[in-house]
Amino acid sequence: MPFRALPLLWILAAVAQEAPKPYGLVWLDVDPGKAEIALDGAYLDAGVWLISVAPGDHSLQVRKAGFKSFDTRFGISPGQNLHLDVHLEAGAGGDSDS
């Protein structure tokens, strides 16, 4: 009898591993490209467009030399997908040399 229960435990373990994670996804569409992106003050690798974030409130900063900086706050829920369009305006600002 104990051996019959073993496959069921494997199935339950596999299902538990594939359960949705308590994160949301933020998809960034930034124009112009090669801008510096910071989430909650931590800079991300250049070219990051899809970010997995914990639920709650977050801050986003986008900077590029020769353009006005973009700063915003957003909230996200577990499993939520959020699309943010960021269009930087030409002008003074930005911290990057790129």
In a domain, 4, yes or no: no
Provide the percentage of residues in the chain whose pLDDT is more than 70: 69
Contact call for residues 74 and 45 (beta carbons, < 8 A): no
pLDDT of residue 41: 94
Residue 14 domain-assigned?
Answer: no
Confidence of residue 5 (pLDDT cuts 50, 70, 90): very low
Place of tokens 């494997």: 10
As for how many domains the chain has, the answer is 1
pTM here is 0.69
Q: Is residue 5 part of a domain?
A: no
Whichever domain contains 34, its CATH number is: 2.60.40.1120
| b/e sequence 15-28, b meaning 16+ C-beta within 10 Å | eeeeeeeebbebeb
CA distance 3 to 43: 51
Q: Is the pLDDT of residue 63 over 60?
A: yes
* pLDDT (0 to 100) of residue 89: 94
Interatomic CA distance for residues 12 and 6, integer angstroms: 10
17-56 residue pLDDT tens: 554 568 999 999 898 888 999 999 999 877 678 889 999 9
Domain that holds residue 73: 21-98
